[in-house]
């Protein structure tokens, strides 16, 4: 790819990294601030409350997907990406200054809730705007490779958050972390978002969007009416996202808590396992994305779904009995290698389903709905099973979601060779039956 393509990918990815750092740092530091906002008589209940607020952020994502997807289709990808990072910065500041339960009772939890609602709005639009931007800004022959940097940057955000957590764990006492240290990552997140705001204000629009905009006919661009013409593709996005998002949040967001609370590993060891596994995971994304440009998207998606359906129960069961760093790391890497078949290419697959004038909204809204229903609730469902007793029920739930998505992957057509500039709003994209 040329220098201009790399510049666009860099700017889009850097902003995405900060967005997802702010989003995931809530989950990675939840074990430290859960007691600050809720009564301390039941640690599991505290985590369930903070996980519930985490899930609420996901339920705002469809609203953010609709609002910012509409902005992306009507005002441009640049405008949507700039707005998302503004919302994320505001939410990070709110969490950083939120009063504790001892100071304001449940008032602090209310501030936390408002912040997560803003984050939900932001991320609801960020995923689609960045997926659309990276897909449109890339060389058509390397869309899989270019769009894989979405999950590279997403994972990089989480790695930075976990790396900061490791550094704080080694330089601060456990009491200090629970008292005030957990606020530090949110302050840094707000500062990072300010830098990204500047970068995105000066980023270039994609050629694909500018070509579409020059043709006019923008009255229904980014509207629900226009999206309804592609309802089949919208439902396809929900179904193909279902298994992938549950598996992704299980082995990234929830993994540290699972290793700590269920396997009994020390928090520092659990964090280090997640940190190391995510570094390898991030490195795998471009390799898998490039492979999809050669062999197609469906083979990778099918491999993920088969692997996740078959391996989730045994891997999670063995992880529960992992008593040290290396067994936990090996099993975590096995799971994340399987998940790579989904994460590396799902952004471009979804963007390839829709024409330009409805692409951002077409990706944003159904994807956000799927995440609200499955991704955002994964951690809460896991903790519910743990609290109720049969924790293994969650393993079967993850496997079942992957099995549903497998049916979709097997029956959908290949999207690799579709020409994004020739897809028209009046057409129904022919990608829902196997060829």
Q: Cα separations (Å) of 23 from 18, 127, 180, 181, 310?
A: 9, 12, 19, 18, 30
H helix runs in 98-251, sequence order: 101-104, 107-137, 143-147, 149-171, 174-179, 184-201, 207-214, 224-228, 231-251
Residue with tokens 């060389």: 139
Q: What is the pLDDT of residue 429?
A: 42
| Contacts of 35 by beta carbon, 8 Å cutoff, 6+ apart | 43, 46, 101, 178
Determine contact, residues 372/61, Cβ cutoff 8 Å: yes
Give me the tens of pLDDT residue by residue for the chain, a chain 435 residues long. 667 778 778 877 887 898 889 877 887 787 788 778 777 666 666 666 777 776 777 778 899 999 999 999 999 998 999 999 889 889 999 989 988 877 887 788 888 888 888 988 998 888 888 899 999 988 888 999 999 999 999 889 988 988 898 899 899 998 899 889 999 999 999 999 888 888 888 888 888 888 877 765 556 788 999 999 999 999 999 999 999 999 999 998 899 889 998 999 998 899 899 999 999 999 999 999 999 999 999 999 999 999 999 999 999 999 999 999 999 999 999 999 999 999 999 999 999 999 988 999 999 999 988 988 898 789 889 989 998 888 999 999 999 999 999 999 999 989 999 888 766 544 444 444 443
C-alpha to C-alpha distance for 80 and 65, rounded to whole angstroms = 10
Closest by CA position to 142, among listed 311, 318, 9, 252: 9
pTM of the complete model: 0.85
Q: What is the pLDDT of residue 66?
A: 94
Q: By CB neighbour count within 10 A (0-12 exposed, 13-18 middle, 19+ buried), where does 299 fall?
A: middle
C-alpha to C-alpha distance for 181 and 169, rounded to whole angstroms = 9
């Amino acid at each position: 790819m040329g220098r201009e393509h790399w510049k666009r990918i860099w700017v889009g990815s850097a902003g995405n990294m900060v967005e997802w750092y702010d989003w995931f740092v809530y989950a990675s530091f939840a074990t430290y601030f859960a007691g600050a906002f809720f009564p301390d008589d039941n640690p599991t209940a505290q985590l369930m409350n903070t996980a519930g607020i985490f899930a609420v952020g996901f339920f705002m994502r469809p609203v953010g997907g609709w609002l910012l997807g509409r902005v992306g289709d009507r005002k441009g990808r640049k405008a949507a990406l700039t707005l998302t990072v503004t919302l994320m910065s505001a939410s990070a500041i709110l969490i950083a200054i939120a009063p504790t339960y001892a100071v304001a009772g449940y008032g602090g939890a209310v501030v936390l809730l408002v912040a997560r609602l803003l984050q939900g709005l932001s991320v609801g639009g960020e995923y689609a705007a960045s997926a659309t931007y990276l897909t449109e800004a890339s060389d058509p022959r390397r869309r899989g490779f270019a769009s894989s940097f979405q999950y590279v940057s997403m994972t990089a955000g989480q790695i930075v958050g976990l790396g900061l957590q490791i550094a704080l764990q080694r330089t601060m006492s456990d009491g200090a972390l629970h008292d005030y240290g957990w606020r530090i990552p949110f302050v840094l997140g707000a500062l990072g978002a300010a830098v990204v705001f500047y970068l995105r204000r000066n980023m270039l629009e994609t050629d694909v969007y500018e070509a579409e905009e020059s043709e006019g006919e923008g009255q229904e661009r980014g509207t629900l009416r226009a999206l309804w013409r592609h309802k089949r593709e919208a439902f396809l996005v929900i179904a193909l996202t279902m298994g992938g998002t549950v598996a992704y949040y299980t082995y990234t967001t929830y993994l540290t808590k699972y290793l700590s609370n269920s396997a009994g590993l020390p928090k520092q060891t659990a964090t280090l396992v997640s940190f190391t596994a995510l570094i390898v995971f991030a490195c795998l994304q471009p390799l898998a994305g490039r492979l999809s440009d050669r062999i197609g998207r469906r083979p990778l998606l099918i491999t993920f779904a088969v692997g996740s359906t078959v391996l989730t129960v045994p891997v999670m069961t063995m992880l529960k009995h992992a008593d040290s760093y290396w067994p936990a790391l090996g099993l975590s890497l096995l799971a994340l290698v399987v998940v790579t078949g989904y994460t590396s290419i799902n952004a471009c697959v979804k963007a390839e389903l829709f024409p330009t004038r409805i692409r951002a909204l077409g990706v944003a809204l159904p994807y956000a709905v799927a995440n609200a229903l499955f991704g955002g609730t994964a951690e809460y469902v896991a903790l519910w099973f743990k609290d109720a007793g049969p924790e293994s029920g969650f393993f079967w739930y993850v496997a079942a979601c992957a099995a549903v998505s497998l049916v979709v992957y097997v029956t959908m057509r290949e999207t690799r060779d579709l020409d994004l500039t020739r897809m028209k709003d009046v057409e129904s994209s022919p990608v829902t039956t196997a060829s």
